[in-house]
Amino acid sequence: MIRYTCDLCKRDLDPVNDLRYVVKIEIAAVFDPIDDTVDDDRDHLQEIHNILERMEDLEEGEEIADEVRQYMSFDLCADCRRKFVKRPLGRESVHLFDFSKN
């Protein structure tokens, strides 16, 4: 029998009595389209060289694909799911708004 635990509070989840929620997160790099109408003085060869050097500096076993896209999955109990939905980024919702101090 497969056992599940909440990834936040570490509580064992009973498959018969407890609801188990799965949170799936995808982190993806976003590449904006290049505006080739602008004539800039960038050294494109130097930029490619810098990218290749960074690739060489990656530690053994580190995947370049992780820099572009990552997938994560977490099991949550009902209580931790409620907390996660209220603060998915771990920030208080009051801080998300920039109210004036009038």
Provide the token pair at 100.
């004036």
Residue 14 pLDDT class (50, 70, 90 cuts) = very high
> For the chain, what percentages of helix, strand and coil (3-state, to nearest 5) are there?
30, 20, 50
Q: Which residue has the higher pLDDT, 60 or 5?
A: 5
Four-CA torsion 65, 67, 71, 72, nearest 10 degrees = 130
pLDDT at position 64: 61
pLDDT at position 76: 97
